């Protein structure tokens, strides 16, 4: 088990990473074309709008879920709604960032090291320290879907912004 000092360091690292990644995510969301929100690359895929809204809301949704000690996935819907317009996506993104920032900034080492449980009905899927769930689900899950969103943009021939380093459309080193 990590010491309180190590837990505090992990919290501060997560806050710093979250703030930096928030700006990167905003660059990707800014490219989402409002006239293509219902477009899907495949019948099994989320629409562009659903995926963009999911990317916008992941941090805040997870902040809410992680304030509890247990989350029952059987009680949740994991299908994002279809947004009506880009403004709805950006409003959700702004609120999500505020909620996640508030949660992360208030996280104490004791709370961060506390065990968080994911259940599906009576079955426990996993139990981990809360800070590990911040890392794996709040942050890594967010990046995963942001990557999907960048592929949607490429398929729609929308210039993909710089995420890390350069993209085929932008080179900050040029």
pLDDT in tens, 115-137: 999 999 999 999 999 999 999 99
Tell me, yes or no, whether 168 lies in a domain: no
Tell me, yes or no, whether 166 lies in a domain: no
Rounded Cα–Cα distance for residues 47 and 53 (Å): 10
Tell me, yes or no, whether 61 lies in a domain: yes
Half-sphere exposure at residue 98, Cβ-oriented, CA atoms within 13 angstroms:
6
CATH number at residue 148: 1.20.120.450
Q: Is 9:126 a contact under the CB 8 Å cutoff? A: no
Domain range spanning residue 147? 4-155
pLDDT at 57: 98
Task: Give the total number of structural domains in the chain.
Answer: 1
Tell me, yes or no, whether 96 lies in a domain: yes
Tell me, yes or no, whether 160 lies in a domain: no
State the 10-residue block means of pLDDT for the chain, 174 residues long. 76 94 97 98 97 98 96 91 98 98 95 96 96 94 97 98 92 84
Half-sphere exposure at residue 75, Cβ-oriented, CA atoms within 13 angstroms:
9
pLDDT at 55: 98
Rounded Cα–Cα distance for residues 141 and 68 (Å): 19
pLDDT at 1: 58
Task: With both helix axes pointing from N to C terminus, report the angle between 86-106 and 48-66 in degrees, rounded to the nearest 10.
Answer: 20
Model pTM? 0.93
Tell me, yes or no, whether 29 lies in a domain: yes
Tell me, yes or no, whether 170 lies in a domain: no
Tell me, yes or no, whether 85 lies in a domain: yes
pLDDT at 64: 96
């Amino acid at each position: 088990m990590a010491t309180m000092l190590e837990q505090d360091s992990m919290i501060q690292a997560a806050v710093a990473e979250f703030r930096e990644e928030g700006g990167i995510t905003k660059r990707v969301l800014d490219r989402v074309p409002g006239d293509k929100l219902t477009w899907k690359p495949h019948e099994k895929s989320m629409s562009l709008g659903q995926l963009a809204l999911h990317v916008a809301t992941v941090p805040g949704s997870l902040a809410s879920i992680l304030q509890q000690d247990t989350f029952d996935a059987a009680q949740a819907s994991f299908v994002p709604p279809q947004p009506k317009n880009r403004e709805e996506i950006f409003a959700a993104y702004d609120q999500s960032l505020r909620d996640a920032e508030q949660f992360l900034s208030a996280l104490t080492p004791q709370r961060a090291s506390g065990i968080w449980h994911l259940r599906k009905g009576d079955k426990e899927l996993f139990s981990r320290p809360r800070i590990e769930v911040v890392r794996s689900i709040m942050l890594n899950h967010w990046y995963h879907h942001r990557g999907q969103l960048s592929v949607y943009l490429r398929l729609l021939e929308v210039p993909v912004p710089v995420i890390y380093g350069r993209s085929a459309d932008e080179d900050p080193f040029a």
